Amino acid sequence: MSLLRNRAISVSGAIIVATAACAVVGPWISPNDYISTDFDRLLLAPTTAGAHLFGTDDLGRDLFVRTMLGIRVTLLVAIVASFVSLIIGVAYGAIAGFVGGRVDAAMMRFVDTLYALPFIFFVILLMVAFERNFLLIFVAIGAVNWLDMARIVRGQTLSLKEREFVAAARLTGVSTGRIIFRHIAPNLIGIVVVYMTLTIPQAILVESFLSFLGLGVQEPRTSLGALVDAGVNLMEGASWTLLIPAGLLAVLLMCFNFLGDGLRDFFDARHTT
């Protein structure tokens, strides 16, 4: 496949897949679990003894298993949130763009209104109203991300619907639904996929940020952001508690960004040759 010949795509894709695989398999293989405390082994530096590959934290919990769980949560949040924003954003944007006129104006003003909500304030409100809940993170991130997607898709649709192949389809008698899903939507895939790979790191960042503030995942569960938060407090004397999760977070973010860039080049090239 020519997709894999692009180095940015293949290398960053491989790193992401490998990390995700470790996150899934790691906790099963490790003899430790994420919740047991061992007060004889507080703040242990990374070691093979007792399979504490990433060391332990100030409660003596195994950091390898906790980090792997953190990656799971982080990736899950990112992917689910991006997927939600993809579905809502594409449908909303394509309909607004294709129908146009007043429908378009009304739909896009609604998007503008949601944009105007201060994000953190919105999250805190949600927390207050529904108590702390893992699901709320998805809702909060999804609610913000789809707005960008809708705007981008609408803009693309506006220009696509003026293209002559759409006029040709109208002349032949192709129905509006079929025009949107068969003619417009496939031509959006390039930009949507690219944008999605770029929103994933955004979502990761937002989740980490919320967890860092204590508004995200709650103890004893964890995420990369929560681990970084804990690590910051311990970094004097136990630097690995910060460096390992922060390093992994950085690597994942970079990989997703490179993947997005690579995909963008790939889709651009396919239509200019």
Q: What is the DSSP track for 41-97?
A: STTPPS-SGGG-TT-B-TT--BHHHHHHHHHHHHHHHHHHHHHHHHHHHHHHHHHHH
Asked if residue 154 binds other proteins (CB under 8 A), the reply is: no
Asked if residue 270 binds other proteins (CB under 8 A), the reply is: yes
Burial class, 30, CB count within 10 angstroms (exposed 0-12 / middle 13-18 / buried 19+) = middle
Q: Is the peptide bond before 220 cis (omega within 30 degrees of 0)?
A: yes
Asked if residue 221 binds other proteins (CB under 8 A), the reply is: no
Nearest CB to other proteins, comparing residues 5 and 271: 271
Asked if residue 173 binds other proteins (CB under 8 A), the reply is: yes
The terminus-to-terminus CA distance of the chain in angstroms comes to 17
Q: Looking at 125, 167, 250, 254, which residue binds other proteins (CB under 8 A)?
A: 167
Q: Looking at 4, 189, 232, 254, which residue binds other proteins (CB under 8 A)?
A: 189
Q: Looking at 36, 159, 176, 233, which residue binds other proteins (CB under 8 A)?
A: 176
Asked if residue 171 binds other proteins (CB under 8 A), the reply is: yes
Q: Looking at 183, 198, 207, 253, which residue binds other proteins (CB under 8 A)?
A: 183
With beta carbons less than 8 A apart as the criterion, state whether 64 and 44 touch: no
Asked if residue 159 binds other proteins (CB under 8 A), the reply is: no
Asked if residue 164 binds other proteins (CB under 8 A), the reply is: yes
Asked if residue 169 binds other proteins (CB under 8 A), the reply is: yes
- Site of interaction with other proteins (CB under 8 A): 163-165, 167-176, 182-183, 186-187, 189, 270-271, 273
